[in-house]
Amino acid sequence: MLKVVWQRLLMLVLVLACVSIATFLMARVVPGDPAQVIAGPHASHATVEAIRHQLGMDRPILVQYADYMNGLLHGDLGTSITTRHPVSDDLLAYFPATLELVFYAFVVALVVGIPLAILAAVKRNSIFDYAARIVSLAGLSMPTFWFGLVLILVLYGKLGVLPSSGRLSSSLPPPPHITGLYTVDGPLTGYWATFVDSVKHLILPVVALAYVQLAIVVRQLRASMISVLATDYVRTARAAGLSEWTVITRFGLRNALVPVLTIVGISFGALLGGAVVTETVFGWPGMGNYVVQSIESLDFPAIMGFTIVIATAYVLINLVVDLINIALNPEIRRGGGS
Amino acid sequence: MRRILIPVAAVAVMASAAGCTATNPQGSGTQTSASHTLTVDVASDIDTLDPAVTIDNASWKITYPCYERLVDYKGSSTQLQPGLAKSWSSSDGGKVWTFHLVSGHKFTDGTPVDADAVKFSFDRLLKINQGPAGSFAEVSSVEAPDPTTVKFTLKSPFAPFPSTLATNYASIVDPKVMSHQQNGDMGQAYLASHTMGSGPYELKSRVKGQSLTLVTNPTYSGSKPQITKAVFQIVSDPSAQRLQLEKGDVDVAEGITIDQLKSLEGESSITVLKKPSLLVDYIYLNVGKGNPVLKNTKVRQAISYAIDYKGLIDATQQGQAVQMRGPIPQGMWGHDNSLMQYNYDPAKAKQLLSEAHVGKVPPLTLLYSDHEAWWPTEALAIQANLKKIGIPVKLSKVEYATERALLDKGQFDLSLGVWSPDYADPYMFMNFWFDSNNGGLAGNRAFYSNPQVDQLIRQAAVSTDQSQREQLYQQAQKIVVQDPPYVYLYQTQYMLPMRSDVLGFVFNPMLQGIYNLSQMSKA
């Protein structure tokens, strides 16, 4: 297991080197000049040239890259061209918001989805199975923005029980920054009103985002469970007189979870890059909106910082998924084929 | 297995605990606007709040009420009135401008606003040399001979100079910002998220991606505003904004789309303000660097006659716009209401095209992006209009940044564009659009060159006699309408939905998206 960790950490370094070079070059090859964007629509050539010089964009590209990497190795992600803040400050403000949203959405998706899928697989072709399949199909078919708007319309517009957008009511201050997750920092710092308010703000976007993930989990796990439950070793386990609970959890779920977790891991990583639609509908101040704005204004340091954080998160999530898979599957743990 | 299930179970318990709390709300999760609080939904977050850096009027809505300037716009007009300066005069043929300051104004920390602070603000602006500095390119030096006198010396006479001083760029900043300097940035990082002005408000808090809150400035010398707190909250989704406005959770919602505004108009609790804006939408005909057929005046006139202006306004603006009459829009002095206006006349367009003797017109590229939501529709309509007279158009949709790069290099035939003035002077239209020295993004996006027009507009830029300037601009307008390097499409209508109990809002076309908070109130 330790070998896997070391391999993955080595891979992280390689991935970051490749990603940084690719992003850096791509950002500069695309037509468009950030100096012109920040100089404004009416700027003269002299002003644009002065800004280009201030940004160091008139230097050779290799010098710019070396300079950037030197900063990166010293923990400096540079300064955003548009917000004038250190990119690390911006990411610290936006990343926890997305992490909080995506994390709870996956918790809900797994907590609800796994039992639903097991029930559907075990009671195949029963009312539970049909219900699970309909719920799953609806989740995959419904556009997220539409489902989000329906949630807002009913729970905010008609019933008025939940807020419609944002992470916190503007009348409340955010809790002091420890993790950046309001649901964690609130209780840790005694900001209980903020905690309650942040949970209320989380419910609708989490439900909207969780539903799609839940649909994926149910669909994948149900199919996986059905095929695992039909295997010889499960039949043997049943013949040996093991309880149905043991058969389902120890032999069925344990093996069926492996492919599902891989998909969930990839999906989790992708959403950390910004659940753009959900964030837009619910005015959620996360990475999605930040990176879209950065791309529109060709804010290279912000785009680079974002890419590096997401690449790191991806590699780490894959590492976690691999470790879970090793724990679940003895064959992988022993280094055998899977 | 147990090792894995424990954390999952712990999270599940935590989540369900959170769920229990949430389904049992302690009070409402939404904010009720008090009678002294104005809550505004804005569509996106701002970039920086430094007046010497930002060119985005989304930021100006925060900064404009927090700073004072030497001069201000008078009510809803583009005329100037005294601000921090009680009077001003020009000498040396318009090269030297002297301003006399009023006394008693203070920054939020109590420091008096004096001539040194004015000098500091302009020196800082010019040294930072970002987009806003472009409006003050003519400034050679700023002097403060005594605490209430400021003298600007220009490189050459520049008639619009006083109107540049009413812009957000010309905000007077507390010199103490230098105590927040980092790495020689003259306080840019600090002012990105703070305000240090002498206006009626100051920024109390900014939560990135969520909200910005203004409160009244205790040291403000003017009368005490009735709106003591203004909250600008970022809500990207138009439908969510509409619901919040309808429920009365916000007082103003800026991001509601035109089609949704129409259905809001019938609601008694909501007023939809409609005013002609100075934002114009037009087509650049690349005379200088585009397809050679565009050098032919008759081809350009034919294109101008081929456009179905009303159909275009209906399709892209739901009818909420006014066709332009020449380059200077209504509401800006210098606008000539007797100027010739092109109308939709395909027959005449075809006739002009045949008189042009250019043979079969090759396909022309029409460059545009998603920068304005209506551009994709507009591009299709223009393509259909020009096809009718035998001009094939190839649509070229790119990212906004790419579009700007191509515009600057002149790599297009036709392009959609919008323009709004930085300061209240026809110079912003005439000299920017038509001066042959301004080719590319700087303003003359048609790369048009006409020595006679150059002479008229350059003379208008230096004359301090307003009636003479108006006359010169009107002469130049007649030429550029007959010899059109642009298709003058329409000026948009500014529409703003607000709760009917919001009183005192005055729309100034130069301050679109900016609220006169200190004069506003709630019933």
How does pLDDT run across B391-415, given as a tens digit for each residue?
A: 999 999 998 778 888 998 999 999 9
How far apart, in whole angstroms, are the C-alpha atoms of residue A208 and residue A144? 7
Element (H, E) at A272: helix A254-272
What sign for the dihedral angle of Cα A300, A302, A307, A308? positive
Touching check for B45 and chain A: CB below 8 Å?
A: yes
Residues facing B207 on adjacent strands: B211
Element (H, E) at A109: helix A87-122
Asked whether the predicted pLDDT for residue A207 surpasses 90, the reply is yes
Touching check for B4 and chain A: CB below 8 Å?
A: yes
Asked whether the predicted pLDDT for residue B19 surpasses 80, the reply is no
Query: Which of B240, B405, B442 is facing A164, going by the closest CB pair?
Result: B240
Expressed in percent and rounded to 5, the helix, strand and coil fractions of chain B are 35, 20, 40
Q: Within a 10 A sphere around the Cβ of A115, how many other Cβ atoms?
A: 13
Q: Determine whether the interchain pair B441/A165 forms a contact, defined as Cβ–Cβ distance below 8 Å.
A: no
Q: How, if at all, do strands B321-323 and B486-499 pair?
A: antiparallel
Residues facing B273 on adjacent strands: B496
The dihedrals phi and psi of B283, each to the nearest 5 degrees, come to: -115, 130
Residues facing A86 on adjacent strands: A79
Query: Which of B19, B193, B207 is facing A174, going by the closest CB pair?
Result: B207
Please, what is the end-to-end C-alpha distance for chain B in angstroms? 64
Q: Determine whether the interchain pair B237/A327 forms a contact, defined as Cβ–Cβ distance below 8 Å.
A: no
Asked whether the predicted pLDDT for residue B383 surpasses 90, the reply is yes
Distance from CA of A241 to the nearest CA of B (A): 21
Q: Within a 10 A sphere around the Cβ of B391, how many other Cβ atoms?
A: 23
What type of residue sits at position B227? Answer: I
Please, what is the end-to-end C-alpha distance for chain A in angstroms? 15
Report yes or no: A117 and A132 within 8 Å, Cβ to Cβ.
Answer: yes
Distance from CA of A214 to the nearest CA of B (A): 15
Q: What percent of chain A shows pLDDT beyond 70?
A: 96
Touching check for A8 and chain B: CB below 8 Å?
A: no
Touching check for A289 and chain B: CB below 8 Å?
A: yes
Q: Determine whether the interchain pair B442/A50 forms a contact, defined as Cβ–Cβ distance below 8 Å.
A: no
Q: Determine whether the interchain pair B237/A149 forms a contact, defined as Cβ–Cβ distance below 8 Å.
A: yes
**pLDDT given at position A31:** 67
The pTM is what? 0.83
Query: Which of B193, B246, B443 is facing A42, going by the closest CB pair?
Result: B443
Q: B320 by DSSP, 3-state: which?
A: coil
**pLDDT given at position B253:** 96
Q: What percent of chain A shows pLDDT beyond 90?
A: 31
How far apart, in whole angstroms, are the C-alpha atoms of residue B43 and residue B110? 34
pLDDT one-digit tens code per residue, B204-227: 999 988 999 999 999 998 899 999
How far apart, in whole angstroms, are the C-alpha atoms of residue A69 and residue A255? 43
**pLDDT given at position B96:** 95
Element (H, E) at A3: helix A2-29
Touching check for A204 and chain B: CB below 8 Å?
A: no
Alpha carbon of residue B474 to chain centroid: 24
Choose between A210 and B33: higher pLDDT. Answer: A210
**pLDDT given at position A8:** 78
Touching check for A162 and chain B: CB below 8 Å?
A: yes
Among residues 383-402 of chain B, which lie with CB inside 8 Å of chain A? 398-402
For residues B85-112, give the mean pLDDT: 93
Q: Determine whether the interchain pair B47/A110 forms a contact, defined as Cβ–Cβ distance below 8 Å.
A: no
Asked whether the predicted pLDDT for residue B16 surpasses 50, the reply is no
Query: Which one, of B428, B397, B430, lies nearest residue B415 by Cα?
Result: B397
Angle at CA of residue A187, ends A183 and A189, nearest 5°: 115
Distance from CA of B416 to the nearest CA of A (A): 14
Report yes or no: B129 and A51 within 8 Å, Cβ to Cβ.
Answer: yes
Which chain A residues are closer than 8 Å to B208 by Cβ? Answer: 90, 93-94, 285
Q: For residue B329, give the DSSP letter.
A: P
Longest dimension (CA), chain B: 88
Angle at CA of residue B299, ends B298 and B304, nearest 5°: 95
Q: Determine whether the interchain pair B25/A161 forms a contact, defined as Cβ–Cβ distance below 8 Å.
A: yes
Distance from CA of A314 to the nearest CA of B (A): 20
How far apart, in whole angstroms, are the C-alpha atoms of residue B436 and residue A114? 69
For residues B133-150, give the mean pLDDT: 93
Q: Determine whether the interchain pair B401/A296 forms a contact, defined as Cβ–Cβ distance below 8 Å.
A: yes
pLDDT category of residue B122 using cuts at 50, 70 and 90: very high
**pLDDT given at position B32:** 39
**pLDDT given at position A150:** 93
Among residues 67-126 of chain A, which lie with CB inside 8 Å of chain B? 79, 82-86, 90, 93-94, 97, 104, 107-108, 110-111
Q: How, if at all, do strands B211-216 and B364-368 pair?
A: unpaired
Q: Determine whether the interchain pair A47/B428 forms a contact, defined as Cβ–Cβ distance below 8 Å.
A: no
Report yes or no: B455 and A75 within 8 Å, Cβ to Cβ.
Answer: no
For residues A152-162, give the mean pLDDT: 92
Distance from CA of A257 to the nearest CA of B (A): 12
**pLDDT given at position B3:** 39
Among residues 15-74 of chain A, which lie with CB inside 8 Å of chain B? 30-34, 36-48, 50-51, 54
Q: At what angle do helices A182-189 and A87-122 cross, to 10 degrees?
A: 110
Touching check for B30 and chain A: CB below 8 Å?
A: yes
How far apart, in whole angstroms, are the C-alpha atoms of residue B104 and residue B101? 10
Distance from CA of B64 to the nearest CA of A (A): 18
pLDDT category of residue B17 using cuts at 50, 70 and 90: very low
Q: Determine whether the interchain pair A84/B50 forms a contact, defined as Cβ–Cβ distance below 8 Å.
A: yes
Question: Could you tell me how many CB contacts below 8 A there are between chain A and chain B?
Answer: 225
Which chain B residues are closer than 8 Å to A38 by Cβ? Answer: 53, 55, 130-131
Report yes or no: B271 and B496 within 8 Å, Cβ to Cβ.
Answer: no
Report yes or no: B113 and B86 within 8 Å, Cβ to Cβ.
Answer: no
Q: Within a 10 A sphere around the Cβ of A72, how many other Cβ atoms?
A: 16
Distance from CA of A292 to the nearest CA of B (A): 11
Token pair, residue A251, equals 């032999």
Q: Determine whether the interchain pair B44/A289 forms a contact, defined as Cβ–Cβ distance below 8 Å.
A: yes
Alpha carbon of residue B306 to chain centroid: 29
pLDDT one-digit tens code per residue, B435-475: 999 898 889 999 999 999 999 999 999 988 889 999 999 99
pLDDT category of residue B12 using cuts at 50, 70 and 90: very low
Asked whether the predicted pLDDT for residue A130 surpasses 70, the reply is yes
Among residues 139-158 of chain A, which lie with CB inside 8 Å of chain B? 149, 152-153, 156-157
How far apart, in whole angstroms, are the C-alpha atoms of residue B440 and residue B433? 10
Query: Which one, of A49, A128, A34, lies nearest residue A82 by Cα?
Result: A34
pLDDT one-digit tens code per residue, A314-337: 888 888 888 888 887 766 666 544
Report yes or no: A77 and A300 within 8 Å, Cβ to Cβ.
Answer: no
Report yes or no: B449 and A50 within 8 Å, Cβ to Cβ.
Answer: no
For residues B262-271, give the mean pLDDT: 89
Q: B150 by DSSP, 3-state: which?
A: strand
- A168 HSE (CA, 13 A, CB side): 27
Asked whether the predicted pLDDT for residue A121 surpasses 70, the reply is yes
Show the DSSP H helices in B307-426 as ranges. 309-317, 346-355, 375-388, 400-409
pLDDT one-digit tens code per residue, A53-94: 888 888 888 898 888 888 888 888 888 888 888 899 889 889
Query: Which of A40, A149, A281 is facing B55, going by the closest CB pair?
Result: A40
Q: Determine whether the interchain pair A84/B192 forms a contact, defined as Cβ–Cβ distance below 8 Å.
A: yes
Asked whether the predicted pLDDT for residue B6 surpasses 70, the reply is no
Q: How, if at all, do strands B270-285 and B71-73 pair?
A: unpaired
Q: For residue B517, give the DSSP letter.
A: G
How far apart, in whole angstroms, are the C-alpha atoms of residue B473 and residue B485? 16
Asked whether the predicted pLDDT for residue B15 surpasses 60, the reply is no
Query: Which of A111, A170, A254 is facing B12, going by the closest CB pair?
Result: A111
Choose between B284 and B255: higher pLDDT. Answer: B284
Choose between B151 and A233: higher pLDDT. Answer: B151
Which chain B residues are closer than 8 Å to A44 by Cβ? Answer: 134, 137, 438, 442
Q: Determine whether the interchain pair A152/B240 forms a contact, defined as Cβ–Cβ distance below 8 Å.
A: yes
Distance from CA of A311 to the nearest CA of B (A): 23
Asked whether the predicted pLDDT for residue B168 surpasses 90, the reply is yes
Q: Determine whether the interchain pair A32/B48 forms a contact, defined as Cβ–Cβ distance below 8 Å.
A: no
How far apart, in whole angstroms, are the C-alpha atoms of residue B484 and residue B476? 12
Which chain A residues are closer than 8 Å to B193 by Cβ? Answer: 85
What type of residue sits at position B392? Answer: P
Q: Determine whether the interchain pair B240/A165 forms a contact, defined as Cβ–Cβ distance below 8 Å.
A: yes
Q: Determine whether the interchain pair A165/B129 forms a contact, defined as Cβ–Cβ distance below 8 Å.
A: no
Q: Determine whether the interchain pair B441/A43 forms a contact, defined as Cβ–Cβ distance below 8 Å.
A: yes
Among residues 199-218 of chain B, which lie with CB inside 8 Å of chain A? 205, 207-211, 213
pLDDT one-digit tens code per residue, B313-330: 999 998 989 999 999 999
Show the DSSP H helices in B410-496 as ranges. 427-434, 451-462, 466-482
**pLDDT given at position A45:** 73
Mean per-residue pLDDT over chain B, rounded: 90
Asked whether the predicted pLDDT for residue B14 surpasses 80, the reply is no
Residues facing B85 on adjacent strands: B101
Query: Which one, of A256, A260, A315, lies nearest residue A106 by Cα?
Result: A260
How far apart, in whole angstroms, are the C-alpha atoms of residue B244 and residue B256? 11
Q: How, if at all, do strands B85-91 and B96-101 pair?
A: antiparallel
pLDDT one-digit tens code per residue, A162-184: 998 899 988 888 999 899 999 99
